[in-house]
Amino acid sequence: MPSLPPPMPAGSDGPPPIPQAERKAPPPGRKFPCKQCGAKLDYDPEARGLKCPYCGFTEVIAPADENTRAEEIKEHDLEEFLATQEEAAHATIGGHSSQVTCAGCGAVILLQDKVATDKCPYCNTHLENKPEEVKNLIAPESVLPFALSDRQARDSFNKWLSGLWFAPSELKQLANLGQFSSMYCPYWTYDAMTYTSYNGERGDDYTTTETYTDSDGKQQTRTVTHTSWRRVSGEVRHFFDDVLIRAAKTLPQHLADKLNPWALPSLEPYKDEYLSGHQAERYSVSLTDGYGEAKQVMRDHITGLINRDIGGDHQRIHWRQTQHNAVTFKHTLLPVWIANYRYREKLFQVLVNGESGKVAGDRPWSWFKILRLVFLILLAIVLAAVLVSKVRGSSAPAKPRASLQSVCANLPDFSEENSFCGPFVSTRC
Ligand SMILES: [Zn+2]
Ligand SMILES: [Zn+2]
């Protein structure tokens, strides 16, 4: 049984006490105890600090200054780390000392100590109560704290919903029932200084004027574009800063990409406090695999740089070689609000960037609404045709009538929801 909070110390200048009847009993977690009532403090995005959910006591966490950030958010040398430290990585996250793997989506959820987590926030699967100790973890050295509260995330979501075209009407009522879960998602960032040598060809367009004889036997002239190619070679260099790679593939790529951009300059040095009261996912993409993905991102960018370096109207790259120097990485946690909702037996996922409020979501379509619009457009065309023929005093007024019937005859059967085309359908049927 959870114990009741101890009485508030006399003379405390905290917020006014909440009447006993309105207070819920705090769970027995004591990682960040409330100085006023002893309950566990959670990181509150609106208060920008730890806040007691029972008595309202708040401890603001001041953002780090530039120097502290530079000192504490250390980028690690990738090569050195892989050679010496990866095997030995054994950091844990304070307040999240056990982990559980979701049988539904494979996410490895870092569980909050002494807080029951029964459902996977990603897929709603019931989490088996078989937590393991968190082992061999490369510690995050930075985190982007939640700036949006649950309520603000819901506001962003509702705004997004109201802007959706052809969404089923039931969706809005349903959405209010959806639970938002806060999740710190793991990311790797990579930096590298790159030097790329290349050779290829540059194509420059030029035009000539040609004379020809057309089908009537007349002499005509036309301008013809040609390309002259010449061999080129060169070198491009580029420094990549914070190439962001998802360190877990639980969030679907198409949704995760829509959460960009992330305010990486606002990253804070990692503190357990930011995670208090929120869930976190453990990375599942290895540092090396993440680097492979980062190199592909860099490669695509370098292609653009080479093409610009070659210049001209067209470019061909035949050979290239890139040296990645001084490669560094860091492990960072980014805040995402997640809601799952079920619509007609299908699970839809909506994500809200916990820092910017940007929404990315899957959505159902109302085919009824889409077909209704198509029908109304067709109807408008037919009515316009009738009107035009009447204005012109056409001698065959029966013709547009025939096309109205043919439009109606070709309509799909809306036997369930046919009220919208009532008079027209009954004319036809
Ligand atoms: Zn308290
Ligand atoms: Zn899951």
CB of 101 closer than 8 Å to CB of 268: no
Highest mean pLDDT (candidates 83-87, 412-416, 425-429): 83-87
Q: Which ligand is nearest to the CA of 12?
A: 1
The three-point CA angle 72-241-77 to 5° equals 55
Residue 391 to residue 388: CA distance in whole angstroms? 5
pTM equals 0.75
Which residues have C-beta within 8 Å of that of residue 347, sequence separation ≥ 6?
A: 123, 124, 340, 341
The residue type at 241: D
Q: Which residue has the tokens 């061909």?
A: 316
Beta strands in 298-428 (DSSP E): 314-343, 346-353, 359-361
Torsion sign, CA atoms 393, 395, 397, 399: negative
Radius of gyration of the chain measured on its C-alpha atoms: 31
Q: Separation of 94 CA from ligand 2 center, angstroms?
A: 23
Query: Is a pLDDT exceeding 70 seen at residue 232?
Result: yes
Q: Which ligand is nearest to the CA of 39?
A: 1
Q: Which ligand is nearest to the CA of 117?
A: 2
Query: Is a pLDDT exceeding 50 seen at residue 391?
Result: yes
- Mean pLDDT score, 238-261: 94
The residue type at 267: L
Sorted by where each begins, the domain ranges of the chain are: 1-62, 66-191+239-290+328-365, 368-428
- The percentage of residues in the chain with a pLDDT greater than 90, rounded to a whole number, is 47
Q: Which ligand is nearest to the CA of 24?
A: 1
pLDDT score for 427: 35
Query: Is a pLDDT exceeding 50 seen at residue 108?
Result: yes
- Contacts of residues 47-50 at CB distance under 8 Å and 24 or more positions apart, as own/partner, are 48/145, 48/147, 50/273, 50/276
Q: Separation of 146 CA from ligand 1 center, angstroms?
A: 21
Q: Separation of 75 CA from ligand 2 center, angstroms?
A: 31
- Mean pLDDT score, 149-176: 78
Residue 390 to residue 397: CA distance in whole angstroms? 7
Q: Separation of 126 CA from ligand 2 center, angstroms?
A: 8
| Nearest-10 crossing angle of helices 367-391, 398-409 | 170
pLDDT score for 89: 64
Q: Separation of 44 CA from ligand 1 center, angstroms?
A: 13
pLDDT score for 21: 37
Residue 207 to residue 227: CA distance in whole angstroms? 9
Q: Which ligand is nearest to the CA of 122?
A: 2
pLDDT score for 262: 95
SS3 content of the chain, % helix, strand, coil (to 5): 30, 30, 40
CB of 181 closer than 8 Å to CB of 337: yes
Residue 44 to residue 148: CA distance in whole angstroms? 9
Residues with CB under 5 A from ligand 1 (ion): 34, 36-37, 39, 52, 54-55, 57
Phi, psi of 289 (to 5 degrees): -65, -40
* Lowest-confidence region among 59-68, 287-296, 418-427: 418-427
Q: 382 or 171, which is more confident? A: 382
Residue 95, CA distances (Å) to 4, 110, 215 in order: 21, 9, 84
Query: Is a pLDDT exceeding 50 seen at residue 6?
Result: no
Q: Give the confidence band of 417 by pLDDT, cuts at 50, 70, 90.
A: very low
Q: What is the pLDDT of residues 177-229, one digit of tens each?
A: 567 899 999 999 999 999 999 999 999 999 999 999 999 999 999 999 999 99
